[in-house]
Structure 1
Amino acid sequence: MSKHRQDNATFLERLIFNNRPVVILLCALVTVFLSYHALQIRPSTSFEKMIPLSHPFIQNMIKHQNDLANLGNTVRISVEAKDGDIFNKEYMETLRQIHDEAFYINGVDRSGLKSLWSPSVRWTEVTEEGFDGGEVIPQTYDGSEESLNELRSNVLKSGQIGRLVANNFKSAIVDVPLQESYPDPDDQSKLVKLDYQKFSHELEEKIRAKYQAQNPNVEIHIVGFAKKVGDLIDGLMAVVAFFGIAFVITLVMLYWFTWCIRSTISVLVTTLIAVIWQLGLVRLVGFGIDPYSMLVPFLIFAIGISHGVQKINGIALQSGEADNALTAARRTFRQLFLPGMIAILADAIGFIALLIIDIGVIHELAIGASIGVAVIVFTNLILLPVAISYLGISKKAIERSKRDAVREHPFWRFLANVAHPTVAPIVVVVALAGGVGAFFYQKAHLQVGDLDQGAPELRPDSRYNLDNDFIVSNYSTSSDVLVVMVKTAPEGCSTHMAMAPIDELTWKMENTPGVQSAVSLVTVSKQVIKGSNEGSLKWETLARNQDVLNSSIARAEGMYNSDCSLAPVMVFLNDHKAETLKRAVKAVQEFAEENNRDGLEFILASGNAGIEAATNEVISASELTMLGLVYAWVAVMCLITFRSIPATICIVLPLVLTSVLGNALMAFLGIGMKVATLPVIALGVGIGVDYGIYIYSRLESFLRAGLPLQEAYYETLKSTGKAVLFTGLCLAIGVATWIFSAIKFQADMGLMLTFMFLVNMIGAMLLLPALARFLINTEKLAGKAGGSLLAH
């Protein structure tokens, strides 16, 4: 460049372009280093990372987890007899082998493993001489017809029908509680974290595949948090194929946009480098890949392509006037580095705002994605222009760019009419009407939490959800359990003062819509007292005699802790839909307000339904705060950049409209606001602002040159409209492939992000110039020599 051009260059520009070989060498070394670490990254998740640890419900659960055996992370294996019922020798032998096989799988809490073959599963009956009882499967069992008849009789007397045994006697359950950490089999002094994918595979190989092959009359169904997460991680592996599809489509579209193979390859390679850096840095900070953070590389790829397109478009425009590729690259760097940085900072805040959601997987997603957009500064804003300064752009692409710069564009001319004094009010009114309608629709219909039965993260026809449907249909105890913890003084849970309110709570919950049944130590106590009085229903009540109460709960194993200071009330729900959870939690809280006193306290919550209720409350509380932070930061960045409140309003209002429309779409499609979908809204705002920043920065430059608004917008579209349109399509394509994922929440996220990226683009191209007609004083702007940072 000439000395004059060098003098006009910023310090950063001179530092980069005067040391281009050093820049490329440093980037190459970093890429090799981080590629090694990226290859080491592995799927990783845990029970704690999926739940809001600081929520009072979860803190209560953790505080009392040792008192709540088998109410946390549990897998249920249902063994179905295809023909006949469970009372045959072959079936019972298969059930025993499955029980024993599960016992030796690493991560199983062996002390809590329960099935008909467990010595702790017993039957009780009232006789003329008092209570009689024993193990459901006695020591004398030998598989003979006589033993099977005795087994049938014991099961009927055990109280396990609908729990461990199906209501139709065609299946039985092995209840498998898990440990989040367990002693390393090779070194007992070390603890190993439960590997959900490995555990899920062991269930498939050692239980389902092995015993279904061994006994064709048996079909096995497995549900539980660990199995669900294992299936999710398996589904992630298929996502790699979607990345490949997105890459090929982007390659074709990039070449169609640039008509230059060098430019196309440069953008793709620098963007892939950004993805490699992101994965390598995530590995270095100690994170792995989980079902949520697996989506981050797609986002980084899409964002990197969008910024790369802007750079290539700028260099192509500059190449028509510049003497060489270096000059064109430097001019483009000077012109677009700052708006690119502002756009990337806006992207980053969309991710950083997710940190206020107190859930580990969302924290990791936010940190990983923030790292990803940070590396785009180096790869797409710095490395790409440096690479193009060497490679240049093909003459064909430059000639095409020159022709586009001087010829009339009917489509852009037509689109520029949105800034016309007559058309602009119509655009604004239509947008306002759509926004108001969508706002009231989403306010009436959008719910927080899951809206479907089973595991909403997976497709309805997935193996897991089919297994869940089987268990829900054949057993009386739902897999959705809300546990209320009743705290008393030591040895106080068996007193009438404590048991009477527990009885009232049990009755209240059983009469709450959405509740299937409720069980507590009072349930057992009443049965025992009735049995002690010749089984008369008149005696199925609580005694006031303490000795009778003490005796009556002796058989309530697992229904109170070791010092009788905590007794759980297990509330079995019909499902874990948002409305069901909200109703059940409200009923418990109302009861607690009326009955809590010194020495007696009803606290929430444990069980999978308690965890989901806590998660829903965190999401509900975080939504507005998170969006407020994102919008505030985007507005501040626009104010700093353009030094204009009207300009900031023009850029931000289309984003607000998109957020409202996005929520309305979620409500229309029956997608709840939950862990998987809440980040979409923040990401849609943070990433969507890119369009407005790029469009307004060009529009402002033409307005300062003295052009009227409509003509200035036409020139803006000629110079950057194609790049903005292409950016929107690239962002949408980058995430649209998720829609075909086997993991339903990924499909939901893909659909929502595709919608938001496209609508943000349309809003920036249609609503922004229409708002500018009312808010921007073009005459005043034309009289200024400067005013925004982008003008310098």
Structure 2
Amino acid sequence: MKYTAPPSVSSLEPFDPSSGSIIERLLFNNRLLVVLLCAVITAVLGWQALKLELNASFEKTLPGSQPYILNYLQYQSELTGLGNAVRVAVENPDGSLYDADYMETLRQLSDELFLLPGVDRVQMKSLWTPSTRWIGVTEEGLEGGPVIPDGYDGSPQSLQQLGANIARSGEIGQLVAVDGNSSIIYLPLLDTDADGNSLDYAVFADKLEQLRGKYEAQGVAIHITGFAKLIGDLIDGVRSVLTFFAMAVVIATATVFWFTRCVRSTLLVVFASLTAVIWQLGLLPTLGYVLDPYSILVPFLVFAIGMSHGAQKMNGIMQDVGRGFDKLVAARFTFRRLFLAGLTALLADAVGFAVLLVIDIQVIRELAIAASIGVAVLIFTNLILLPILLSYVGVSDEAAKRSIAGESSTDKTTREQALWNLLDRFTGRRWATAAILGGAVLAVAGFAVSTQLKIGDLDQGAPELRSDSRYNRDVAFMNQHYGASSDVLAVMIKTPANACSRYETLNKVDALEWQLRQLPGVESTNSLSLLSRRVLSGLNEGNPKWYEFLPNQSMLNYITAGAPRGLYNNGCDLLTLYVYLSDHKADTLTQVVDYVEMFAANNDTDDVKFMLAAGSAGIQAATNIAVKEAWRDMLFLVYGAVILLSFITFRSWRAVVVAILPLMLTSVLAEALMVALGMGVKVATLPVIALGVGIGIDYALYILSVTQAQLRQGATLSEAYLRALRFTGKVVMLTGVTLAVGVVTWVASPIKFQADMGLLLAFMFLWNMLGALVLLPALAHFLMKPDKAEANINAALETLGQKRTKPISSTSSNQYGS
């Protein structure tokens, strides 16, 4: 049966306002009330959005139920500075730290840092704090005292004594640089300030920068590292995100206007999408949430998704107006045709975000909640409010006529028609076979590359920032001038009360410590066992022959009594083994963690247990493990949910396969791209992988819903696909390219993980679009066929001159997809 063109308006019955679903009648028969209600909600939530805070929390970045983190949290109060801390290195660029002016500057800075809100003052450490002590061996036995000598006055004699004390303190490579030109002020941080308020990292980092500027003006160089400073830099970089958001809005607006040449409809689409962002930002503080640097990109994603769905609604109304329908009738027809597909697509988007809740990291869960809220409000702003507004405003006559120009044009050489004819070839066997074989080759090659994908960071420093950022230059300075890096993994050894100094326990610690030092990536270690070796050698005039771990319990008890409390706790039932790593790359952490786990399995007893992990590197290792465990589960859940929603929409397993396979190819190729770009699966990139599936299904839903409806009316696949291309294909291409261009501008962001997300999202937008335009018809050639029964009924009725007639509402609905 040859597919017939839509009937003219004059051949249709008058529109029946009582037709359509109960939802359609409820909304469009009360249009003014809906608009007023949305206006009130926008005003209220716009006011609430002004209360939204931008902050972060160290605790929220931890995988709360991961065993390593549970160990860390259980003993957090007994561990010295192994959690959230800032290191401030004060360098004398023109000399050494043994300078009176330098030491006075260091004292003043140490005092000011001591008074900052949120600093754990008991655990704070610098050359000027009383807890920094030296210990030495004299003819009278062991002696010690604070590193700053009594009566220090900056004289040459005092500075000489200071140098001797530092040499005996064991702090060279820790608080004091190996070259003697700088020293560190170590600031452990509390989760709350003295007033009980959560630590404001933006304010704290700003105060650090103020002190940096103040003291660098006095001739020293300041280098600052730590989670709080990193978050502060990210929050500063977030201001650039607003610039990129504005650029994306301008690009999307310009592109939609270029497509429609209609000012009013373009502005309405942008308005509806921005309204969704306002609702989302207003709901967050209302529900008690804040934005953090990891979720700051969510408003743009909501805007992007809104532009995609809004453009589809605008295009449908524009085409119906071009066919002669009244703007209200066109709005109702478009709502009727696309509401279910749009709702399913938004639900799939929401699922793509919601599955992130399986990841037990609060910062990702809050990102998922924020994004899910944003997608939920799009149902009201873009699926309901936008068609109703367009039913009032309408579109320009020129734009409406232009939107359907291709339907009646007999010129097969127009660019649009040539493109449709090219894409239509993929509904034929030869091109379809070639497309599927090409997709299979890409899938195999992509999967082979994706097997090399790592979990965690692959670069030194903070991968969230550029390698040449001030923060990463400070990290490089620390690593270069201090023997003990800031990447610390701490092993906790649990013992019975008052039994931490037993020979059997310390001997095992000594064995593990020696074995870890042989691993590549381990720079140094520190423990009570190592201290025992050093003290024993010191008590024997530094003779290296005595650098042994002797089975002398009395000696071990004596050494333990004078050891720093950072090596064991007050109850002497917890030992800490510090492992200083060259970096926190995924491979480095994995090999250390695996070795400690193996050692624990072979040496744990009922009384002594080796537990991971504390320290910055230990927490990173725990996060990597949590991400790895959730990664595949997340993909399984998001694909399962998308498949279920697609089946509910299409009621055909064949249509589901046609829609899902292009998505799976995009996921595989995205993981291969991450390998090529040197990205690992981590907190910043994991959400993008899930979002690519949820957002990508939108294209397939819009094209396939029209194609399937036409096939059920008896149209051939070629005819059905061409109808889908004319009705929704142009907008799919428009939104795919527009969104890709919008996010690819992020590569210029100073925040590296934003640049990474921009590249991945741009790739996924384009590949999901290509999959919907190329692979979808190719797969449909082999899996989806016209409904012959429907076609035979129509042919028979035409022969009898009794072709079924339906009200205009039903006829229009069936022509372009129900």
Q: TM-score surpassing 0.5?
A: yes
1:480 to 487, 507, 514: 487
Cross-structure match for 2:695:
687
Matched letter for residue 209 of structure 1: G
1:412·1:714 contact (CA, 8 Å) conserved in 2? Answer: yes
1:110 partner SS: coil
1:322 CA displacement: 4.1
1:632 to 627, 640, 662: 640
1:299·1:735 contact (CA, 8 Å) conserved in 2? Answer: no
Cross-structure match for 2:3:
none
Per-residue CA deviations over 1:276-325 (Å, capped at 9, x if unaligned) read 00100111111111011101100000000000100011001111234421
Equivalent runs, 1:665-676 vs 2, <5 Å: 665-676=673-684
Equivalent runs, 1:99-498 vs 2, <5 Å: 99-184=110-195, 191-205=196-210, 207-213=211-217, 215-216=218-219, 218-407=220-409, 408=412, 409-443=417-451, 445-498=452-505
Cross-structure match for 1:188:
none
1:32 CA displacement: 0.3
Cross-structure match for 1:502:
509
Q: Output the CA distance in 1 between the equivalents of 2:31 and 2:185.
A: 65
1:521·1:553 contact (CA, 8 Å) conserved in 2? Answer: yes
Equivalent runs, 1:39-118 vs 2, <5 Å: 39-118=50-129
Per-residue CA deviations over 1:645-699 (Å, capped at 9, x if unaligned) read 1100000000000000000000011101111111111100000000001011111
Q: Output the CA distance in 2 between the equivalents of 1:740 and 1:74.
A: 30
Q: What is the TM-score of this pair, normalised by structure 2? A: 0.94
2:36 to 5, 18, 25: 25
Per-residue CA deviations over 1:738-770 (Å, capped at 9, x if unaligned) read 222111011101110110111000011000000
Identity of aligned residues (%): 50
Q: Output the CA distance in 2 between the equivalents of 1:623 and 1:688.
A: 18
1:670 partner SS: coil
Q: Output the CA distance in 2 between the equivalents of 1:539 and 1:60.
A: 36
2:424·2:721 contact (CA, 8 Å) conserved in 1? Answer: yes
2:17 partner SS: helix
2:194 partner SS: strand
Matched letter for residue 589 of structure 1: E
| Residue-pair matches, total | 782
Equivalent runs, 1:607-686 vs 2, <5 Å: 607-686=615-694
Per-residue CA deviations over 1:597-645 (Å, capped at 9, x if unaligned) read 0110000000011111111111111111111111111111111111111
Pick closer, same or farther for the CA change 1:323–1:417 going to 2, 3 Å: closer
1:59 CA displacement: 0.6
Q: Structure 1: which 4+ aligned runs deviate by more than 4 Å?
A: 1-4, 779-788
Q: Output the CA distance in 1 between the equivalents of 2:275 and 2:741.
A: 19
Q: Output the CA distance in 1 between the equivalents of 2:366 and 2:786.
A: 45
Per-residue CA deviations over 1:43-93 (Å, capped at 9, x if unaligned) read 121011111111000110000011101111111000011111111110010
Work out whether 1:585 is the aligned partner of 2:596. no
Cross-structure match for 2:797:
none
Q: Output the CA distance in 1 between the equivalents of 2:424 and 2:785.
A: 18
1:410 CA displacement: 1.5
1:411 CA displacement: 1.5
1:532 CA displacement: 2.1
1:182 CA displacement: 2.9
Q: Output the CA distance in 2 between the equivalents of 1:531 and 1:292.
A: 50
Cross-structure match for 1:721:
729
Q: Output the CA distance in 2 between the equivalents of 1:757 and 1:781.
A: 38
1:779 CA displacement: 4.9
2:135 partner SS: strand
1:781 CA displacement: 7.6
1:126·1:535 contact (CA, 8 Å) conserved in 2? Answer: no
1:305·1:730 contact (CA, 8 Å) conserved in 2? Answer: no
2:719 partner SS: helix
2:83·2:616 contact (CA, 8 Å) conserved in 1? Answer: yes
Q: What is the TM-score of this pair, normalised by structure 1? A: 0.97
Q: Output the CA distance in 2 between the equivalents of 1:581 and 1:346.
A: 36
1:605 to 603, 610, 613: 613
Name stretches of at least 5 consecutive residues in structure 2 with no aligned partner.
1-11, 794-809
1:419 CA displacement: 1.1
1:294 partner SS: coil
1:524·1:555 contact (CA, 8 Å) conserved in 2? Answer: no
1:119·1:135 contact (CA, 8 Å) conserved in 2? Answer: yes
Pick closer, same or farther for the CA change 1:781–1:35 going to 2, 3 Å: farther
Q: Output the CA distance in 2 between the equivalents of 1:478 and 1:272.
A: 46
2:713·2:786 contact (CA, 8 Å) conserved in 1? Answer: no
Cross-structure match for 2:8:
none
2:18·2:25 contact (CA, 8 Å) conserved in 1? Answer: no
1:602 partner SS: strand
Per-residue CA deviations over 1:419-456 (Å, capped at 9, x if unaligned) read 1111110100000011011101111x210100000000
1:262·1:393 contact (CA, 8 Å) conserved in 2? Answer: yes
Work out whether 1:741 is the aligned partner of 2:746. no
Query: Which deviates further from its counterpart, 736-745 or 507-516?
Result: 736-745
Q: Output the CA distance in 1 between the equivalents of 2:362 and 2:144.
A: 47
Work out whether 1:754 is the aligned partner of 2:762. yes
Q: Output the CA distance in 2 between the equivalents of 1:539 and 1:709.
A: 86
Q: Output the CA distance in 2 between the equivalents of 1:475 and 1:276.
A: 48
Q: Output the CA distance in 2 between the equivalents of 1:415 and 1:324.
A: 32
Pick closer, same or farther for the CA change 1:537–1:781 going to 2, 3 Å: farther
Q: Output the CA distance in 2 between the equivalents of 1:458 and 1:555.
A: 42
Cross-structure match for 1:514:
521
Q: Output the CA distance in 2 between the equivalents of 1:784 and 1:564.
A: 88
Q: Output the CA distance in 2 between the equivalents of 1:350 and 1:756.
A: 14
Matched letter for residue 275 of structure 1: V
Query: Which deviates further from its counterpart, 582-591 or 719-728?
Result: 719-728
Pick closer, same or farther for the CA change 1:34–1:2 going to 2, 3 Å: farther
Cross-structure match for 1:187:
none
Matched letter for residue 208 of structure 1: R
Q: Output the CA distance in 2 between the equivalents of 1:726 and 1:457.
A: 31
Matched letter for residue 340 of structure 2: L
Q: Output the CA distance in 1 between the equivalents of 2:81 and 2:263.
A: 61
Matched letter for residue 30 of structure 2: N
Query: Which deviates further from its counterpart, 586-595 or 149-158?
Result: 149-158
2:429 partner SS: coil
1:123 partner SS: strand
1:134 CA displacement: 2.0
1:487·1:600 contact (CA, 8 Å) conserved in 2? Answer: yes
Q: Output the CA distance in 1 between the equivalents of 2:323 and 2:240.
A: 47
2:562 to 540, 555, 558: 555
Pick closer, same or farther for the CA change 1:704–1:357 going to 2, 3 Å: same
2:493·2:576 contact (CA, 8 Å) conserved in 1? Answer: yes
Q: RMSD across aligned C-alpha pairs, in angstroms?
A: 1.8
Cross-structure match for 2:576:
568
Query: Which deviates further from its counterpart, 509-518 or 423-432?
Result: 509-518
